[in-house]
Amino acid sequence: MSFLEIKNLHVEVEDKKILKGLTLTVEKGQVAAIMGPNGSGKSTLAYVLAGKPGYQITEGDILLNGESILEMAPDERAAKGVFLAFQYPVEVPGVATMTFLRTSLNAQRKTRGEGEVSTPEFMKLVRETSAHLGISADMLKRGVNVGFSGGEKKRQEILQMAVLQPRLAVLDETDSGLDIDALKVVADGVNRLRSPERSMIVITHYQRLLNYIVPDVVHVMAKGKVVRTGGKELALELEAKGYAEYVGEAA
Ligand SMILES: Nc1ncnc2c1ncn2[C@@H]1O[C@H](COP(=O)(O)OP(=O)(O)OP(=O)(O)O)[C@@H](O)[C@H]1O
Ligand SMILES: [Mg+2]
């Protein structure tokens, strides 16, 4: 059994069909890259996995560890280990990053019937991970993402992932807007979280990211479904040839 099984998924937003029969499996421990043209439905897939409201699933199913998650609220999914790093991270004024991280972690633990994380354990994890990611103590005291640069927000997403230790992490264009050094820092942060117990879906437009986060498999999405699957060399092919053949073919 695959850890994530998406079967013939059809999704509409405001009566507009966006995902049209998407089938995708991700194995336990696998890092799967998803590439595809603008508007092909990549972010929609990420939101549907996380359980964002407003998406109607008209057909198909999503199984996590053999269990359908379609009826689960976003917080239940999070407690089951689903994590989404946003393409456009949101600012949360008035909530310090530290408080946010700790509250999120404890909420998830509570839903799982676990006790709260101890202060020393939590502080150690945040300090170590922040140091690796180049996030200063000052930034941890500021409101979540408030006034952070694009690249700083992306680092915060990886910090959240490191604290929450998800079973399925979905990273939506975590590389967009990163300079070369930040790209390496973020990729290194992701690589440190690779584990046989953690599956990752890395959505990206650029082959460059996949030099640093080497995927086990690459899927191409076009017009609301997966149209091709291959090894990491597929990303190079796409870089060279573009999406013309898929955009025509998947119509
Ligand atoms: N709330 C909405 N209302 C109407 N259309 C929507 C809505 N959300 C998404 N769409 C449409 O669904 C399609 C897929 O959008 P999505 O954001 O999933 O694409 P994407 O593959 O992530 O693109 P990009 O590479 O540009 O990030 C687009 O045509 C978009 O306009
Ligand atoms: Mg997108």
pLDDT in tens, 92-131: 888 999 999 999 999 999 999 999 999 999 999 999 999 9
Return the DSSP state at 92. Answer: E
| Contact between 105 and 164 (Cβ < 8 Å) | yes
Q: Summarize pLDDT for 48-97 with one digit per residue, the tens.
A: 999 999 999 999 999 999 999 999 999 999 999 999 998 888 888 889 99
24, 145, 13: which is closest to 86 by C-alpha? 145
Query: What's the gap between Cα 176 and its chain centre?
Result: 13
pLDDT surpassing 50 at residue 250: no
CA-based radius of gyration for the chain = 18
Mutate to test the pocket of ligand 1, among 44, 47, 227 (most ligand atoms within 8 A of CB): 44
The CB of 174 under 6 Å from ligand 1? The reply is no
Q: Which two tokens stand for residue 168?
A: 């399925």
Q: How far is the CA of 101 from the centre of ligand 2 (A)?
A: 25
pTM: 0.94
Helix, strand, coil abundance in the chain, percent, nearest 5: 40, 30, 30
Strand partners, 56: 12
Ligand with smallest separation from the Cα of 44 = 1
In the chain the first and final C-alpha atoms are separated, in Å, by 31
Domains of the chain listed by start with CATH number: 4-249 (3.40.50.300)
Indicate which residue's Cα is closest to atom 9 of ligand 1. Answer: 44
Give the Cα separation of 161 and 181 in Å (integer).
20
Q: What is the pLDDT of residues 207-239, one digit of tens each?
A: 999 999 999 999 999 999 999 999 999 999 999
Q: How many CB atoms lie within 10 A of CB 229?
A: 13
